[in-house]
């Protein structure tokens, strides 16, 4: 089977670990021919090019800067990427007959590209991996509004969102709450075309316990004798950074635990400035690390933090959960009440959950976690990962329709 995968995520190296490269490697290992279309932002100085890596065809398309740039360039880049992808596909893949067209969010970006591929491959199945529900997530965070002048933007994006759902033969959601939300808010979608196709990873040979925790803690100046709570990943508006700062202000001078925050994003400076003016001994901020170094650091920690803005009405399901479970550390989730990531963690004994609007509740869970059997909770999380969040689960969901 010939599979084409469209993504907005940059894939500079197919061997790198991510929810997308792991899944595409699974397709390749199952004997399918894999073709990936990924952006090459102009800041990297690379032209559109087709390469082959590990028996996978990787089409890097030159685009404007889509991340870490000003709002104008990002907006124009989002508008142009459809025509850029379509032109590149026509140039490099015109002689390929695809059986499966896979694409991940933001889905509205690829509408014309999907239509073109479907026209060229009328027998192909189209499958949307729904990771973000846009534009509602932007409404939740106050970036756009349903009414007023910004309401025109909402209507435009919402119309394209609905068209993307319509053109998709199947829609894979991250969790049961995502499936319910999509159907409840889009009653025109047939129930049988929506299913759970979760964020998933392939396990590595280097599992928990394969690193020198003492050496790593010394490397980053972390305490050797205190449980460490780690937050890793993007530090943007969705991640409730202001709430995190409130929680750190309340608990930052504790001696029975330590917090390490790793990542970057639009809210990074807020954390940096706060730490500069509040030099607590139990909070460490580290700029974004290479994936292999971050994975090693996670293994040297004891509890993973997951935070989401309380305003969200859509059920996000952050993929950073997978690293925590893989390395057998339990999770403390502080989120909006609509996502099921915390409820699933509690029901299966590998984490605790509270809403991200109460520093007091967060602190109570912090104390509860410090009095829990972290090793047993981590083992339960690993077992849940193996049963639900490996690439085989997502692959089987997608491949069952072929």
Per-residue model confidence as pLDDT tens digits over 46-58: 899 999 988 899 9
CATH 3.40.50.2000 residue window(s) in the chain: 2-202+389-399, 213-388
The CATH class given to the 2-202+389-399 domain equals: alpha beta
Residue 237's CB is within 10 A of a number of other CB atoms, namely: 19
196 has pLDDT over 90: yes
Q: Which two tokens stand for residue 50?
A: 């087709």
Percent pLDDT > 90 in the chain is 70
Q: What is the pTM of this model?
A: 0.91
207 has pLDDT over 60: no
Q: Which of 226, 235, 397 is nearest to 308 (CA)?
A: 235
| pLDDT winner (highest mean) among 18-22, 275-279, 290-294 | 18-22
Q: For residues 355 and 338, what is the distance between their CA atoms, to the nearest angstrom?
A: 10
69 has pLDDT over 70: no
Place of tokens 């869970």: 365
Region of 259 please: left (phi>0), alpha (psi -120 to 50) or beta.
beta
How do beta strands 303-307 and 331-335 pair? parallel
Mean of all residue pLDDT scores within the chain: 91
- The pLDDT value recorded for residue 208 is 47
Q: For residues 215 and 204, what is the distance between their CA atoms, to the nearest angstrom?
A: 21
| Residue partners of 38: CB distance under 8 A and separation at least 6 | 7, 9, 10, 11, 58, 59, 60, 61
Place of tokens 């990074």: 268
- Report the Cα–Cα distance between both ends of the chain, in Å, rounded: 9
- The pLDDT value recorded for residue 205 is 62
**Phi and psi angles of residue 79, each rounded to the nearest 5 degrees, phi first:** -70, -35
- The pLDDT value recorded for residue 398 is 96
Give the pLDDT confidence of 243-288 residue by residue, as tens digits.
999 999 999 888 899 999 999 888 899 999 998 888 777 999 998 8
Among 126-130, 149-153, 395-399, the range scoring the smallest mean pLDDT is 149-153
Q: Across residues 147-160, what is the average pLDDT? A: 85
Q: For residues 38 and 5, what is the distance between their CA atoms, to the nearest angstrom?
A: 9
Q: Across residues 113-126, what is the average pLDDT? A: 95
Q: Are 76 and 84 in contact (CB under 8 A)?
A: no
Quote the CATH superfamily of domain 213-388.
Answer: Glycogen Phosphorylase B; (3.40.50.2000)
177 has pLDDT over 90: yes
386 has pLDDT over 70: yes
């Amino acid at each position: 089977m010939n599979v084409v995968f469209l993504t907005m995520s940059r894939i500079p190296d197919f061997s790198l670990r991510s929810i997308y490269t792991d899944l595409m490697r699974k397709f390749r290992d199952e004997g399918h021919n894999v073709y990936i279309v990924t952006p090459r932002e102009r800041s990297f100085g690379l032209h559109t090019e087709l390469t082959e890596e590990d028996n996978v065809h990787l089409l890097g398309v030159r685009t404007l800067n889509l991340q870490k740039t000003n709002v104008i360039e990002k907006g124009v880049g989002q508008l142009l990427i459809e025509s850029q992808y379509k032109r590149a596909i026509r140039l490099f893949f015109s002689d390929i007959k695809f059986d499966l067209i896979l694409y991940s969010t933001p889905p509205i970006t690829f509408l014309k590209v999907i239509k073109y591929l479907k026209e060229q491959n009328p027998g192909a199945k189209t499958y949307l991996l729904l990771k973000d529900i846009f534009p509602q997530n932007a409404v939740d965070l106050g970036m756009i509004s349903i009414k007023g002048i910004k309401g025109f933007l909402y209507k435009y994006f919402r119309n394209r969102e609905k068209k993307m759902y319509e053109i998709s033969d199947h829609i894979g959601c991250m969790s049961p709450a995502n499936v319910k939300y999509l159907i409840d808010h889009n009653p025109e979608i047939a129930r049988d075309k929506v299913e759970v196709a979760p964020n998933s990873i392939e396990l590595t040979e280097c599992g928990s316990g394969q690193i020198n925790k003492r050496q790593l803690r010394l490397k980053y100046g972390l305490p050797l004798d205190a449980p460490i709570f780690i937050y890793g990943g993007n530090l943007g508006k969705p991640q409730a950074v202001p709430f995190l700062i409130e929680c750190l202000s309340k608990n930052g001078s504790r001696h029975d635990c330590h917090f390490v925050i790793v990542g970057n994003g639009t809210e990074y400076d807020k954390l940096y400035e706060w730490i500069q003016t509040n030099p607590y001994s139990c909070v460490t901020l580290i700029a974004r690390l290479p994936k292999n170094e971050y994975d090693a650091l996670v293994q040297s920690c004891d509890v993973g933090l997951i935070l989401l803005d309380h305003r969200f009405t859509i059920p996000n399901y952050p993929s950073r959960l997978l690293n925590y479970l893989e390395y057998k550390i339990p999770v403390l989730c502080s989120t909006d009440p609509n996502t099921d990531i915390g409820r699933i963690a509690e029901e299966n004994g590998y984490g605790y959950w509270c809403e991200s609007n109460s520093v007091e509740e967060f602190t109570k869970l912090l104390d509860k976690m410090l009095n829990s059997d972290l090793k047993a909770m981590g083992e339960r999380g690993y077992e849940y990962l193996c049963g639900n969040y490996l690439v085989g689960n997502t692959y089987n969901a997608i491949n069952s329709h072929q």
